[in-house]
Structure formats: structure tokens, C-alpha cells
Amino acid sequence: MSKLNLKNILKNNIVYISALMFSFMVFILGAFFTDTFQSVVSSVYSKIMNDFSWVYYLLMLIFLFVCIWAALSKFKNVKLGDDDSKPEFSNISWFSMLFSAGIGIGLVFWGVAEPLSHYNEPLNIEPLTNGAREFAMTKSMLHIGVSAWACYGVLALALAYIHFRKKKPILISSLLIPLVGEEKAKGFLGKIIDIFTVFATMAGIITSLGMGTLQVNSGLNYLFNVPESKSIQVAIVLIITILFLFSACTGVKKGIKFISNANMFLAFLLFALAIIIGPFGDMLSNFLIGLKGYAIEMVTTNNNIFVKGDWYNKWTLFYWGWWIAWAPSVAIFIARISKGRTIREFIVGVLLVPGGVCMAWMTVFGTLGLNVPTEIGKLAIQKVETAMFVVFEQYPLGFLMSIVAIILLFTFFITSADSATYVLGMIVSNGKLEVKNSKKIILGILQSVLTLVLLFAGGLEMVQNASIIMALPFGIIMLISIGGFIKALSSEKLVKEEKDLNSEKLSKKEKILINKGKNTVSTIKSLDI
């Protein structure tokens, strides 16, 4: 092999090689230098908490404002694709895929645990009171509602626009083209952006897989006395890895679509069972209470960039870091399945529908937790991995719901991992929609191995901290990328005006020709020719 060919191979695969090197480095540090690794991660995390937490709040606020602006602007009817393009997937399949890829395990993991935790340990409010109930529902809606989905929506919108309408690769680096030109966006600068995208994506995936592994193991332990051990967790990850790699390798239109639709059915079944066995009146009341509090926060203190304290670090900052870390993989996937939709249709579909469902989910399952006896609630939140199972046990059909929940965790596990693996494959393949299965398999295995390494190195806290750390640089990249999208979108105005001007000029010429034609005919008739 000549030096020139080797150089081209390295250049074309630099993002892929960087992903492999990053994974190998984390594996070595986590497996063989555990104490040092924990110390470094903790130090960086503490630095972020003390000096840069405001950046996360500001970023999430900007993402929401840009989504609102795009949906209400004069560009709202611009299609993500050619003007005559049609959606590739039905609304149901589209919603199922974006919902399953976008929220995944976190919805099941925190559905009972978060509202119950806030109710028992609210911020500056007396616990177990009506004020604590309002606080619990408001914060739960904030962390998983429309504000959070704006993080996915704004980046996915930009990517769908730049890919389907401007015919550029479906990469974060492509959003730099309007700012720095195509040559730099595809060169060294663009590669750096794509490499950071891979790192952030892997951090987000590992967080979800780590939480899912712990909750599945804890649920099996609680229900069937299956030991909570490293060997069981390895077995869980191994089974899931085989399933999500099979799904990812069959592609978006087959495996991923099928699993996503099945996942939505199970989620709906669990949701319906919760409504049937739970206090529906309290659920409705809590939803309205939470919605009111959330609406007030949206226009007052929501995403306040000056907030500080352990509570915000533990909850809001973790959520914002997690959402940002997941943004690249989810946004690229959502963009990939959203061809043919208008900007307004896209924003409504990605923000309001899944955001509304997530808020309803947190309300329904949160109410189940809030309505159990006080001592049961306090017992449940001592271990968040089993909080859902402890609460379900207090209701009729509780065992059945726990079984459905464990199956749902598995399917969410699969849908989150298969879509993320597919997206990682696209990124390391320079934006190609058709990714070699060999790359998907290698990347999928790496995700699973790193999940286990981080879990064994420091548990759930280590996984969460790693996600927050990686979210900071990528959040800045997102902000720059959105600037490129806005600049590119502004050209729609120029193109439209030019078309209208040309049309107007053409109309004037046609009128002149028509008038000339009429005059000629009149002249001929007058001469009896």
C-alpha cells in the first residue's frame, strides 16, 4: 500500500479512528487506573459545577427560543427537503421512532422516582405538603417536558434542513458551512467538530445504558431475587447488545422501525394500566398543578442562569447535561426520519407531542408514588433503581405492571442503543446514510463495554458525571451550529424574493407579448388579410 493511499484512508477515517482511540483510552483508565480516573472525573465535574453551570441553563433557554422563533417565523412553511417532497414515514411511525430514540430508559427510570424524591425532599419547602406536591410536579415537567425537547428539536431541525434542503452530509460539521465555507467545514475544523460529536454521543448513550442496566438488575432482584452483581449486569448488557445490534444492522425501515412501534405499544399498555389502577382524579389535578407551575416558570425563573446549589446540581444540571449529551445522536436520527415535513410541522411534532406525553407520563406515575403511604414513599426513594417496583407493589395489578415495566426497559434499552449506534456509524462514515454493519457492530460493542467499565469504576454517579462533562463542549458546538442554520435559513428569503422578482418580471413580459399579439391580430383583421 502506497503512502498516498494510507494517507487518504487515515483522512477519510479520522473520526472513526478517533472514536476507537477514545474508547480504548477510557477503557484503560476505567479498568486499570480506577482511582485516578474517578479523581480526574470528580475534579472536572466540581470545576463545572462551580464555574460553568450557568452555561447549561443559558444554552437550554436559547434552544427553546430558537425553536419558538422558527415555528412562528415567515420560514415556518419551508419544507425539510424539496418543495414537492413528502414525508417518508407515517405520523405514527415517525412519532414512535423519535419518541423511543429521544427519551428511552430515563422515562421509566425516573417516572416514579423523581416526583416522589421532590415530594419528600423539596427545595426550601416543607416536605409532604401541597407546596411540595406542586414543586414535585413542576420540576418533573421542567426536566422532561417541552424545554428539554427543544434541545433535540433545534439541532434536529438544523440538520434536516441542511441535509434534505441544502443537500449536505447529515453531520454537525455541515452546519458550519454557512459560517466558514464548505472547504473548512469538511476539513480539519469540521473533523474536530465531528470527533467531539462522537464523544458526546457516546457519553449520552453510556449514561442511559448504565441506568437501564442497574434498574433491570434491581427490578429482577426485587421481583425474583436475582442477585445484584457484576456478573448479572454483564449478562444483561450482553443480551441487550446482541438484540440492539441485530436491530441496528437491519436498518431504519426494518428493525429500528419495528422495535420502536413495539416499544410504543408497551409504553401505552403500562401507561393505561397506571391510569386504570391509580387515582385518576389526583392524576388530573396534579397534571393541572404541574402545568400551571411549569407555565409560570417558563416566563419567570425557568433556566435561570444564576441559580446555584446542590439541589440544582443534582437534578436540573444533570438533566440539562444529559439532554445535551444525547442531542447529537437523537438529533441526527430525528433529522434522518423527518424528510418532507415543514418547519412548523416539525417543531410541533418534536416539541409538543413527545414533550406533552412525557409530562403526562411523569404526572401519572408520579401520582402513584405521591399517593402511597408516607413510610413506603420514603423507603422507595432510598434506592431510585427500585422505587418504581416498590410503589407498583402497593396497587392492584402491581406485579403485572412490574413485569411490563421490565420488558419496556429492555425495549427502550434496544431502541435507544440501536438508533444511537446507527447514528454513530453515520458520523464516522462521513455522513453516509448507508453504514457498514461491521462499523455498527464495533461501535455497539464499544458502547456496551464502556458502560460496564464506568459502572464498575464508580457506579451511576460516575456515569452521570461523565455525561455532564462531555455535554459542555458539545453545547458550545451546538450554539455555533445553530448560528450557521439561522444564517442558511435566511437565504430562503433571498431565494424566494428572487423567484418572486423573476416571476413578476416574467409576468410583465407576458403581458407585453399578449398585448402585442392582440394588436397584431387587430391590425391583420383591419387589413382583411
Any domain includes 23: yes
73 phi/psi in degrees, rounded to 5? -75, 175
Any domain includes 36: yes
Amino acid identity for residue 373 in this structure: P
- Angle at which helices 316-336 and 188-224 cross, to 10°: 110
Retrieve residue 357's grid coordinates.
Answer: 406525553
Retrieve residue 337's grid coordinates.
Answer: 426520519
Report the alpha-carbon angle 173-481-483, nearest 5: 140
Any domain includes 527: no
Provide the 10 A C-beta neighbour count for residue 481.
28
Retrieve residue 529's grid coordinates.
Answer: 388579410
Any domain includes 504: no
Provide the 10 A C-beta neighbour count for residue 75.
19
**If you count them, how many residues does the chain have?**
529
pLDDT of residue 209: 83
Taking the C-alpha atoms of residue 259 and residue 6, their distance in angstroms, rounded to an integer, is 40
Amino acid identity for residue 299 in this structure: V
User: Are 163 and 170 a contacting pair, CB within 8 Å?
Assistant: yes
Any domain includes 411: yes
Print the SS3 string covering 120-185: HCCCCCCCCCHHHHHHHHHHHHHHHCHHHHHHHHHHHHHHHHHHHHCCCCCCHHHHHHHHHCHHHH
Report the alpha-carbon angle 485-487-493, nearest 5: 110
| Tens digits of pLDDT across the chain (529 residues) | 556 566 666 767 899 999 899 889 989 988 898 889 889 988 998 898 888 888 999 999 999 999 999 999 999 999 999 999 999 888 888 887 777 666 667 788 899 999 999 999 999 999 999 999 999 999 999 999 888 899 999 999 999 999 999 999 999 999 999 999 999 998 989 999 999 889 888 888 887 788 888 889 999 999 999 999 999 999 999 998 898 888 778 765 666 677 777 878 898 999 999 999 999 999 999 999 999 999 888 877 765 666 778 888 889 888 898 889 888 888 988 898 899 999 999 999 999 888 888 999 999 999 999 999 999 999 999 998 899 999 999 999 999 999 999 998 888 878 778 778 888 898 999 888 788 889 999 999 999 999 898 888 877 677 778 888 889 999 999 999 999 999 999 888 644 444 544 554 445 544 454 455 544 444 434 434 3
Total domains in the chain come to 1
**CATH code: domain of residue 275:** 1.20.1740
Any domain includes 1: no
Range of the domain at 417: 13-494
Any domain includes 515: no
SS3 content of the chain, % helix, strand, coil (to 5): 85, 0, 15
**Site of grid cell 415530594:** 119
Any domain includes 129: yes
pLDDT of residue 501: 43
Print the SS3 string covering 231-267: HHHHHHHHHHHHHHHHHHHHCHHHHHHHHHHHHHHHH
3-class secondary-structure state, position 90: coil
Residue 468 Cα to chain centre, angstroms: 14
User: Are 472 and 55 a contacting pair, CB within 8 Å?
Assistant: yes
pLDDT of residue 3: 62
User: Are 388 and 316 a contacting pair, CB within 8 Å?
Assistant: no
Report the alpha-carbon angle 39-43-48, nearest 5: 150
Retrieve residue 179's grid coordinates.
Answer: 459560517
Taking the C-alpha atoms of residue 443 and residue 124, their distance in angstroms, rounded to an integer, is 45
